[in-house]
Structure 1
Amino acid sequence: MKQIYEKYLPPFVKDTREFQMLSEIEGNILTEEKQAKQYLEDDQWIVTATERGLKRRAKLLNIVREQNESLEDFRQRILFLWNHHKPYTYFHLLDWLEGICNKDNVTNVVVDMQHDLYYLHIEIRLIKKQLQEEIKKTVRKMIPANIVLEVTLRYNLYGEIKPYTYGDLKRKQFRYIDIREEDIRYWEM
């Protein structure tokens, strides 16, 4: 990495042995500094943060990474908690849920509010099942105490599985529980 340092030297000094050794040492230092600067810039935002940056944000939020939780799921949970604020209207709640649950312009959440019964039902797709408990805890803090909250998963329905034959399902060795609880949109047949 001595090329990084040598480009700042005048041409008559580049051939000197001492400056070549110095270029090697300083080139490594400059490379390390460049990498440290990149990590620092990446850690400023949750979406690009390294594991160290995510741990720092988790400490601020008083949460701990679970053992079987992947880095991307942990990032999603931190982003989820970092961005939540109390929506004072139903439409802010919908926007917040769509921001958390929707991916690739696909709706992963259905909200049913029955005002006369003080009942709020949130149904999320299986692809977001790891967020079910977090959504329940966070929405419970957001909504008034007199509203009954129910957060459920939207399991696969017969109409979604109908295009697949028994042979297709058998070839993939799906069990009944897999057919019900794995998001059908991501099956590879």
Structure 2
Amino acid sequence: MTDYRGLGFDPVPGSAEAVAAVSARCSFDVVVPRVPDGWTGAAADGLATRLAAVVSELAEVRRAMRGAAEVLDSWATTLLDNQRRAEELDRRAVRLRRDLAEAVDEVDQAGALAGLAPAHAEAHAAVARHDDLVGRLDEVLGEARLLARDHHAEAGRVAARLRSEEASALSDTLTGLSAATAELASVLLGAPVTAAPRGAAAAFAAGLG
């Protein structure tokens, strides 16, 4: 986690690595058995019908999970871009704060000599430099606040896409596949849970920020 010392706050929370990990878990393969060779009759026909339905359900689930993975991959890329931008702003803010601290000392020193005519111009110059640095720092912090606003807005749009009506319709199927997938479904699809999300679900929640 980056320590944004210059900005004083984290404008782009989240973990692209955690998001990518959840995206990877959206890819799965389930081998559906076939009706054993030589088995015929009503029971065999019934099993064949059921297996065909399972294959169809799994194809639909895979399609939805691929869609979720695409959304997550896109968010991970956006997250990395936003964090690079935040780090660049933080570096500028750190430099400006350092220069500003020096400017404050210069203003104090010039003020102590303000009664001397040669120092009067120096005092004005020191104050002007100080005020310029304050303005530049305010601009950087303003850019960081705008970045934070856009970042959180995009995170909300990502969550909304993952909780779309189409995805929600598959919640029951996803929940039945495995314990790990059930955890993921509880976060991605808003399915009811009885305990705090763990594993992939917790990673997704942390990654989304």
Asked whether the two chains share a fold, i.e. TM above 0.5, the reply is no
* Larger RCO of the pair (alpha carbons < 8 Å, separation 6+): 2
More helix, by proportion? 2
Larger radius of gyration: 2
TM-score by length of 1: 0.25
More strand, by proportion? 1
